[in-house]
Homo-oligomer: A and B are copies of this chain.
Amino acid sequence: MIEERINELGYELKEAPKPLASYIPVTTTGNLVFTAGQVPVSSGKLLYEGKLGKDLSDDEGKKAAELCAVNCLNVIKSEIENLDKIDKIVKVTVFVNSADGYTDQPKIANGASDFLVKVFGESGKHVRSAVGVNELPINAPVEVEMIVAVK
């Protein structure tokens, strides 16, 4: 059901993106599933690059954040097999690669948050921190990590 909604929104869950380094993309403890920080990569390619307020428009930034959220769900699926097992999205942290003077991090983070609510409805509502940072791995514009609770 959940995966169908993701498909309707134009994304297909495929093989989880490979981590950039020696860690794992997802892990479970108790009923909590934690993801590694995800960047807007698709089929191994970084689809968005650079800093908000300089290299990308806010709309591109939002799409990048949305793709990070999709990648989080991708890796969660690889862990729990079926996204219908998600009880709720608990927490989303959004790091926004920000040019000096750029303070619209919440707008960018909404790309991830709005997508989660479109997919999960009420149980997609989550707490969130959105912060600016001066650099991100491989010059990604956004990095998103997630904690979800499973049934």
Contacts and interface: CB of A to CB of B under 8 A. Distances in A.
Interface of A: 19-27, 29-32, 34-37, 87-88, 90-93, 95, 98, 100-107, 109-110, 113-114, 117, 125-139, 143, 145, 147, 149
Given A23-B125, A98-B134, 15 more contacts: A21-B113, A22-B117, A27-B126, A29-B31, A29-B32, A34-B90, A36-B127, A36-B128, A37-B131, A95-B131, A103-B139, A131-B143, A132-B134, A133-B133, A133-B134
B105 A136 contact: yes
Nearest to A24: B125
Contacts of A27: 88, 90-91, 125-127
Contacts of A92: 23
Q: Is the interface of A mostly helix, strand, loop or mixed?
A: mixed
A44 B49 CA distance: 34
A128 B23 contact: yes
Contacts of A19: 128
Contacts of A93: 129
| Nearest 4 Cβ contacts at the A-B interface | A132-B135, A37-B129, A23-B128, A21-B106
